Amino acid sequence: MHMARAVELAACGRGATSPNPVVGCVVLDADGNVAGEGFHAYAGGPHAEVVALRAAGERARGGTAYVTLEPCDHTGRTGPCSLTLLDAGIARVVVAVADPTPKAAGGGARLRAHGVAVEFGVLTEAAERVNAEWLTYARLGRPYVTWKFAATLDGRSAAPDGTSQWITSPEARADVHRLRAESDAIIAGIGTVLTDNPRLTARPTNPPDPSPTGGPADSSGSADPSPKGNPADPDRPTGPAGSSSSTGPSHPASPCGGARPGARVPLRVVVDSEARTPPGARVLDGEAPTLIAVADDIETGLARTDPAQTDLAETGLAQTSPGEAGHKAELIRLPRHDGGLDLEALLRELAAREVVSVFLEGGPTLAGSFLRQGLIDRVIAYLAPALLGAGPAALGDAGVATIAGTHRLVFDDISPIGPDLRLTARPVLAPPRKES
């Protein structure tokens, strides 16, 4: 019961803590009564254990703490949560998931060494689900990938003439913007850019609210103004690479309690192996940071050793007029793979930039490439009650030659969104964890 509540609290931080994990904590007094609760609300904010212990005060002495992620055991700008628990006089700590990062792990061992009873493995699956993005980032060294698509009931993403606006309802499109706002980056392929000229920005109609019960499929939340907009949590490692260093915005109150940051501006990423992004593309409009990934053997007028932050007018990738000041993008070069770019290399590059979660909105070709390379962690499909009978399919070549090779999924959620259905699923077999 108490760990289930801690998982609910952890969900309150989803979409706001990147590049750090979501964590929930419930503190009981010595008689087993709830004395304090807390969650990690935003990157740079106090840890869940600290919040819960502050609420409990002296009632924490001799009590029990239920925590969804192992208390950290390293010193940043503040001390380790393991020591905070010891100082509060906690007698027992129950942990759902061990911390997979060498820098922060060891809190359980420190607590045991000081006579605290520590138990691991309570409601582990639920706690991992709510923290799936960060755990993927920490364990695999790449962001968690959500592929979203909209289609008719017969699986068509557009009509035969290529028109696709709008297959789904305004309610479904608003839901997509809510999910975009939770993500660190939005990815599309050059085909989508050339055909639809999307802005690839998050434009939620209302400020996103956290869901106290949801996991990756159904929770929401606001987050940093950019992937590096708030300072990284000083007491939790930021993942495979780097650290954050800028000052965040003011933090209005959240329905879950505590402080929350303002809306984020996700990074826009265009997979453009042949460097075909046109000068008038909306992804170059300056509304959000943009990264364009090209093949490493493409000549763009940019020396390969030049800094990545480059005005496209200097690269030959897209020419901008002098009046188009803000039309800038980062250009990165990646090796070719499987007829396109090495998408795992792209994800590792994003992880190095502290991108924990990405929202894949590319067309069928790019989606098929991600699926073939085993890089999709969640699928969100918006199905409209409509039939086309012809036109492009939502998914291209996914590397399946026989029914035995089918990419099997398990449903996590099926919800009506206006007149449409939102289906949320994940691969039956999770990707292998990176060996430490």
Catalytic residues: 49
Helix (H) or strand (E) holding 133: helix 132-140
Q: Tokens 């969650």: give the residue.
A: 39
CA atoms within 13 A on the CB side of 254: 31
Q: Are 135 and 97 in contact (CB under 8 A)?
A: yes
Q: Token digits for 37?
A: 């609760």
CA atoms within 13 A on the CB side of 205: 7
What sections of 249-391 are H helices per DSSP? 343-352, 364-372
Q: Distance (Å, rounded) from C-alpha 253 to C-alpha 240?
A: 31
Residue 372: helix, strand or coil by DSSP? helix
Which of 13, 120, 14 is closest to 70 using CA atoms?
120
Length of the chain: 436
Exposure class string for 15-42: b at 16+ Cβ within 10 A, else e: bbbbbbbbbbbbbbbeeeebbbbbbbbb
Q: Tokens 């055991």: give the residue.
A: 73
Q: Are 333 and 342 in contact (CB under 8 A)?
A: no
Q: Are 70 and 236 in contact (CB under 8 A)?
A: no
Q: Distance (Å, rounded) from C-alpha 313 to C-alpha 310?
A: 8
Q: Tokens 């430490």: give the residue.
A: 436
Exposure class string for 75-107: b at 16+ Cβ within 10 A, else e: ebeeebbbbbbbebebebbbbbbebbbeebbbb
Measured CA distances, 327 to 69, 310, 323 (Å): 42, 10, 10
